[in-house]
Amino acid sequence: MITQLRLQNWKSFKDSLIYIDPLTFLIGTNASGKSNVLDAFDFLQRLFSPHYSLDDAIGSIRGGRDWIVRKGEKNFLLEVTIEEEGVTHTISVGVERTENGFVYSVKPDMRKKVNNQIRNIFILNPTPESMRGYSPLSAELKPDGSNIAGVIAAMPKEDKARLEDTLTKYIRPLPEKDIKRIEAVTVGLTNQDAMLYCYEEWNPGQPVDARGMSDGTLRFAAIIVALLTIKKGSLLIIEEVDNGLHPSRAKELVKVLKEISEERNVDVLCTTHNPVLIDELGNEIIPFISFVKRDKEGNSYISLLEEKEHLAKLMASGTIGDLIKNDEL
């Protein structure tokens, strides 16, 4: 499992470290650098994939080659620490900008040993609009969740039923009227495409397909399916995890993340700036919250919430959510 990532001259970061726990929350205001942290994981996952070259990996990152290195610098370093079977490995991925383009090196060269760990990073950013159509039967969920119905429908019968039971269990409390059942159904002459349907308490005889589901319901479903289908031991990264969800449903989201990730041995890294969600986590989550800010020179940096100076005194006058709302971190 990946336990930490160090970022040197990566985008807006001068030199900073993020720790990865079974459930980690990264908080910060807009443009603080949260997304740049996720981009670092995305870059590594692509770089170690056989399907991408260095130029491809750089070009796929937000800002591309113009913004991937901190302004004024010619190189960046991403240092990954991985624990595997009780042994800790640290590898450094260095990338330098030259007159002829970018070059990179991996030290020590342990790509074969860490390939699976880094390739098993899955960055999920569900896009409800892309989830509302028919999708082909698929073996793996796409990062935008667009093929969610195809992934569920392609499963063996018993696995499909088990996943739909779990999906229904967690998604039922979301709307004002409970969802009785959510399932994927194959359609067409060849049954090679699928659509997501839900049955509601107020009209059990008339299923609603994905086109009629809310953004929050679809995003929530994608998170659950990702947790249930990615490989055990993976790192699931979700940007703005509560996007589209009503604040009153934060408790349900936290329950899903905690229970399924623990059951399947999947680490989860989420970004958010929703104070309601953070308060729902309770004070026991404080050691697993990091926050991103900018210094006077505009460099981003990451700090552990529990190391915040005078944290106890600040919390005496309010919750962590209050500190976020009042920009006191």
Q: Spell out the domain ranges in the chain.
A: 2-120+233-325, 128-216
Whether 161 has a pLDDT exceeding 90, the answer reads yes
Q: What is the mean pLDDT of residues 70-80?
A: 95
Lowest-pLDDT range of 83-92, 147-156, 169-178 = 169-178
Q: What is the mean pLDDT of residues 109-130?
A: 84
Full-model pTM: 0.91
Contact 69/50 with Cβ under 8 angstroms? no
> Across all residues in the chain, what is the average pLDDT?
89
Contact 262/308 with Cβ under 8 angstroms? no
Query: What single letter denotes the amino acid at residue 96?
Result: E
Tokens of 63: 């800002």
47: left (phi over 0), alpha (psi -120 to 50) or beta: alpha
pLDDT band at 112 (very low <50, low <70, confident <90, very high): low
CATH of 2-120+233-325, one of 3.40.50.300, 3.30.420.10, 2.120.10.30, 3.60.40.10: 3.40.50.300
**pLDDT tens-digit map of 227-269:** 999 999 999 999 889 888 877 788 888 889 999 999 999 999 9
Distance CA(77)–CA(16), nearest Å, equals 11
Long-range contacts formed by 192-196: CB under 8 A, 24+ apart? 192/136, 192/137, 193/134, 193/135, 193/136, 193/137, 193/150, 194/134, 194/135, 194/136, 194/137, 194/149, 194/150, 194/152, 194/153, 194/154, 195/134, 195/135, 195/149, 196/131, 196/148, 196/149, 196/152, 196/221
pLDDT at 77: 97
Q: Cis ω on the peptide bond leading into residue 275 (within 30° of 0)? A: no
Q: What is the mean pLDDT of residues 106-123?
A: 80
Whether 7 has a pLDDT exceeding 80, the answer reads yes
pLDDT at 110: 67
pLDDT at 89: 87
